[in-house]
Each structure stands twice: as structure tokens, then as C-alpha cells.
Structure 1
Amino acid sequence: MRTRPLFALLASLLTVAALATPASAASGRTHIVKVGPGLAYHPETVSIRVGDTVKWVFPGPEFHSVRGGLDPSKPCKNAWGINSGPRHNGQTYSYTFTGPATRRIIQSDHDGQCYQGMIGYVDVGE
């Protein structure tokens, strides 16, 4: 029968393709960061891979938001499309990072006023 050798060849090709897939493409982990209490991220810095997601959890009653920033001296620029809007009481916000870089995440209050002292970092490696 010709189907058996064809099946074996197909199985071999699929195995090789699976082994050749980069680890970053298969990563897809979710990393949890608590926002607050107070003006702090827990943890302050997370190291992730391309394709991973950071999920910010807002556990307390006070409003916080997460925004991407390019530079701590120029906060709240909504870089990379990161802008959670005001959240609190167990609400969450998630963002999947698609390229390598060090990303600064800067918090703002519910009135849109940025707190330059509340900065967290997401280091994205390949």
C-alpha cells in the first residue's frame, strides 16, 4: 500500500516543522501585575517574551490606569496602544507584546493626571 509510506513521510515533516518553531512563537504566557495599593506595581518589573501577555489587576477601591510611556519625564503618551482607562475593585486590563523592547508603563489617575512616581517596566525579550 502506498498510503503507509506517505503517512510516515507526512508525520516526519510535521515533527520537523514542530521542532523548527521558535520558542517565542509558542510562548504565549500571561504575567500578572497588581496595580496598587498606593502608587506601586507588584512586581515593579516583569521580564517576558515576545507573544506573552501582561495582565494588570486593579484590586483596590482607588482608581488607577495603565498607559504606555516612552520616557518617565514625558508620561502618559499611550505608547504601543497601552491605555487601560480608569479601573478598580478587581477589574483587569491585558496587553500582548508583539516586539522586543523595554516598555515603560506609567500610571495616571481617573482625572487623566499622570503620576510620574508610579512607573513599572515590562522587559520584552525574544
Structure 2
Amino acid sequence: MGSGVETLIETVEHLVKNGEKVGVLKVRLYRPLSTKHLLDELPDSVTTITVLDRTKEPSATADPLYQDIITALMEDDSKYNAMPQVLAGRYGLSSKEFTPAMAKAVFDNGSGKKKGTLQLA
């Protein structure tokens, strides 16, 4: 969602050209988040999802988009034999630039070189 997704898209295009099995899902409408549309767009092959938020909620259990993604996956667990691992991350706090190198680090962290990693922004 927002400014970081363009950096992620460019990074994904580069990584896919080099044989990596990664993807990015751009959230266009948030709250109400459409669980149906989200799950329809997630490939069955996804094993790890990293949700990137551009907000910090110090008193919350987790950041807002991450919580909504977890809820969506838990409400309809029929899509996957095993629930994907869902990680949380933050980018761009205090207007910091989000670079392709940072985006690649997110993929590397989330995948541990596993296949089928998807980033949401």
C-alpha cells in the first residue's frame, strides 16, 4: 500500500528475471479490507507472506495491515493445506527512503531462500 509498493514491484521484476519465486500484492483499498479479493489473489503456492506497514502502533498487538491479513487468513483457512508463515515489517518511518536493496532484504528475510514468498504493501 502506498509509496513502497512501486519499489517492491521493481525489485520483484528484477528478482523474477533472475529466477526467484517471489511476488508482490498491492493493497488498493484498506478498511474495509476485502477478505475474498485478498484470498483470490494469493497464489496457492505461497508459503511466507511479509506484510509491510508504514505505521507504528506502539500500544497495539501488531500493526493494522498485518492484523487484518492474519484475520483474513484465519477466517478462511480452506485455501491452504498449511497456513503460510506471516511476518511483519515496517518501512518509510519518518519519511525514510525505501530502496530496492531494502526491498530485497525483506524478501531475503522472509524467505530464508524458501520458494513462494509474497510481499504485501
TM-score (norm 2): 0.27
Larger % of strand: which? 1
Instruction: Name which structure has the greater RCO, CA cutoff 8 Å, separation 6+.
Output: 2
Larger % of helix: which? 2
TM-score (norm 1): 0.26
Higher Cα Rg, which structure: 1
